[in-house]
Chains A and B, each alone.
Chain A
């Protein structure tokens, strides 16, 4: 009862002070607004980068192994890998026959060629030759239309499945399915279009690629090139066992003597996450630090203004103390002004940051996380309380006689 009466008096005084010192309040609030906007936007952007990263990583397939000559990530001298024997296409069918823990195996070969459809064209698109198993040996691939069948694959038919970006470029206003595009002059009929994957790894997603049967690929573009094998585990929990099995079979196929290290690499999406995860963490850290700094500066501004306001109001504090205000009451009074300013600033900041985050949303797959909203409000309150506390403490400690003499 007593407590709330004083809180109400404090609120009243705080809001009256905010109203009477409009410019001062606006400037203070501005400091917090800027701080909150940058913190929330930065947090949103970081969230977006992380999500984009996760999404891209998922495009590789969490349960897919990439068996090939080169490792994706390594600290070792690259010459040790250069001397490895090249991969052969037969490995894929051999692996498929012998493995028990794999659901699908597909060899993949890549090259860059020009694409054309009527007047539209796309330079240097990534052309991938593979088998019908590719679709089952890949990560999350949603398909409009269909992938090529076993017969089309084995027969090297002139059919293709294209990525979303390829479709956008070649067919800005048409349905691509059933149309025939030209890959370096060779006709291929579009059977399906992959759904857009987006993300950070650009070409490694299906977006900018064209998939064709590997036999057709070899006869049109030649077969003496880098080849890797995509092998998918029957299930995610079986992945580790599947990896051991693949390693064993591949050693047998490539006749690696016992005791000699394997002369091939089994790459996984996880490898990427492990490598780039810390980098994205560092980026997030730096970003948050910089924006935290701007919030801190805003806090200092509030603190400064609170000092001024306390000096202005020392006499008032003297009067209140003379009349019987107990120490913490004065404290509360001043805390309220600072906290109220910060809270108002924080709310305005969120109001500005939210539409801006929608713009970020167009570039990165993100939404302002709810936690950021709460964190921003909490931060602005803490800044208000902390920056209000010191000057309020100083004022409240002052002798009433001394405060009264102040003009």
Chain B
């Protein structure tokens, strides 16, 4: 069973009177457990739209989407929210942290909506923060952290519920290249620990870390290639060279 199975997914935005944007025009693909997929493509090709549908933040106009074998194209908002909460970890380009809450509370947040008890919440959030090397920044607010640190808080938040997949839409887009690589190293590590990761990027350099590269163009899959292990870059290798 695939983690994600898209059959002929389309997404059309209505732009007022008789104006439509076909952001996705029939996408069919399958992603398995513990894959590390990079989605590439020019701006406006539908990458974010695809990610939002995968992440259950948005629903397709037509087509079938099976998530862990369950048809989510027909789910109502509450069930979608539950899936987002338990099964999906989303990392955004703009971090999307709660500005008024400290790092710990931000990481705790999904657990609150999952109904986990306060002590367990604290415990898990703290451990996850330590996992992303931010154990000593638990009580810093986002504006007291660097861009890289903020993104690591966001990764910790995505990670804390132990979701089936981690989605990242241009997670390094707002970071300088050195910090970006740090974050990529983190994703790599998560992948090696058994997580399924899908990330959007338009930097070839970053995509080279992935095991599979899906290229979109005008809302369609242009190419879908697996990267042989000898061609993969790893964060550790780069660091050594």
Contacts and interface: CB of A to CB of B under 8 A. Distances in A.
Interface of A: 1-2, 5-6, 9, 16-17, 20, 315-316, 318-327, 329, 399-401, 404
B96 A325 contact: no
Given A399-B58, A401-B58, A404-B92, A5 B157 contact: no
Given A324-B81, A324-B114, A401-B52, 13 more contacts: A1-B117, A6-B113, A319-B98, A322-B90, A322-B96, A323-B90, A323-B109, A324-B86, A324-B110, A325-B81, A326-B81, A401-B57, A404-B92
Contacts of A326: 77-78, 81-82, 113
B112 interface: yes
Nearest to A396: B77
Which 10 pairs, one residue from A and one from B, show the smallest C-beta to C-beta distance? A324-B85, A2-B115, A324-B113, A326-B81, A324-B84, A323-B110, A319-B96, A400-B57, A9-B112, A401-B57
Nearest to B49: A401
Contact of A320 (B78, B109, B115): B109
A20 to B, nearest CB: 6
B239 interface: no
Contacts of B30: none
18 contacts: A5-B112, A5-B116, A20-B100, A320-B113, A322-B57, A323-B90, A323-B113, A324-B82, A324-B85, A324-B86, A324-B110, A324-B114, A326-B77, A326-B78, A326-B113, A329-B113, A400-B57, A401-B57
A327 B92 contact: no
Given A327-B78, A401-B52, A401-B57, A5 B109 contact: no
A16 B90 contact: no
A315 B92 CA distance: 13
Given A5-B118, A16-B100, A319-B96, A325 B57 contact: no
Contacts, number: 67
Nearest to A2: B115
B84 to A, nearest CB: 5
B92 to A, nearest CB: 7
A327 B81 contact: yes
A324 to B, nearest CB: 2
Contacts of B98: 316, 319
Interface in B105-132: 109-110, 112-118
Q: State which size class the interface on B falls in.
A: 20 to 34
Contact of A321 (B81, B86, B99, B112): B81
Interface string B62-85: 000000000000000110011011
A316 B96 CA distance: 8
A207 B118 CA distance: 69
Query: Which of A1, A316, A400: most chain B CB closer than 10 A?
Result: A400
B12 to A, nearest CB: 15
Contacts of A315: 96
Given A399-B58, A401-B57, A325 B100 contact: no
B136 to A, nearest CB: 24
A204 B2 CA distance: 95
A335 B211 CA distance: 47
A322 B78 contact: no
A320 to B, nearest CB: 7
Nearest to B86: A324
A319 B113 CA distance: 12
Contact of A323 (B78, B85, B115): B85
A322 B77 CA distance: 11
- Most A CB contacts (10 A, CB to CB) among B55, B85, B112 go to B112
Contacts of B81: 321, 324-327
Q: Which of B82, B85, B97 has the most CB of A within 10 A?
A: B85
B121 to A, nearest CB: 8
A22 to B, nearest CB: 14
Contacts of B115: 1-2, 5-6
Contacts of B92: 404
Contacts of A6: 112-113, 115
Given A1-B115, A6-B113, A320-B109, A404 B58 contact: no
A329 B110 CA distance: 13
Contacts of A316: 98-99
A289 B208 CA distance: 72
A404 B52 CA distance: 11
A318 B98 CA distance: 10
A82 to B, nearest CB: 81
A20 B81 CA distance: 29
A219 B66 CA distance: 113
Contacts of A399: 58
Given A6-B112, A329-B113, A323 B57 contact: no
A17 B100 CA distance: 9
Interface centre among A320, A322, A323, A404 (most CB of B within 10 A): A323
A345 to B, nearest CB: 23
A381 to B, nearest CB: 25
Contacts of A17: 100
